[in-house]
Amino acid sequence: MANINMVQVMGRLTKQPELRTTPSGVQVASIGIATNRQWTGKDGIKQKEAEFHNAVAFGRTAEVICQYFAKGDEIYVIGRLKTSSYEGKDGAKRTKTDILVERIDFGQKARTEANGGQSQPAEKAPVEETADFGNGPEPVSEIRIEDIPF
């Protein structure tokens, strides 16, 4: 049997997407996604739990996320998990697991009180230079919404 590394997450952006460009010219967007879960415990009391995910998108997908999504907007992401190691400022070895985004879809826009409950268009994040992430996926040439199973 083949190994599978696939994750699907639908949640809200926890911060404004950040768009950067690697020295090799690849666009990269970093996003935070919050997912919520509710259930009723054995005692009949409703319980809530939030989980926070870091995700990284490349190429045209990164550009689309930064152009059309803003903090609070709902996003559906399909990707794979990638764990990397690094040395913290204190010299301790640390690990970080990200979702490497392969496909996205739009969800509900965030409501804002400033404009009568209507969503605002996302402001484009500034482009910055940063280090090359290496081993990231090839940039996605197009977003295929029709491939997402809804």
CATH number of the domain that 106 lies in? 2.40.50.140
In a domain, 143, yes or no: no
54's tokens: 């870091």
Look at residue 49 and tell me if it is in a domain: yes
pTM: 0.69
The verdict on residue 150 lying in a domain is no
Domain ranges, residue 28 = 7-137
Measured distance CA(111)–CA(119) in Å, rounded: 5
* pLDDT score at 131: 36
- Tell me if 129 is assigned to some domain: yes
Within 8 A by CB and 6+ apart from 108, the residues are 73, 74
Assess if residue 119 is contained within a domain.
yes
State the residue for tokens 């985004």. 101
pLDDT band (50, 70, 90) for residue 2: confident
Q: How many CB atoms are located within 10 Å of the residue 113 CB?
A: 6
The better pLDDT of the pair 129, 139 is held by 139
In the three-class reduction of DSSP (H, G, I as helix; E, B as strand; rest coil), residue 125 is classed as: coil
* pLDDT for position 127: 37
82 inside domain: yes
Within a domain: 130: yes
Query: How many domains is the chain built from?
Result: 1
Q: Map tokens 């259930």 to a residue.
A: 39
Band of residue 112 on the pLDDT scale cut at 50, 70, 90? low
Scored b (16 or more CB within 10 A) or e, 46-79 reads eeeeeeebebbbbbebbbbbbebbbebbbbbbbb
**Residue 96 within any structural domain of the chain:** yes
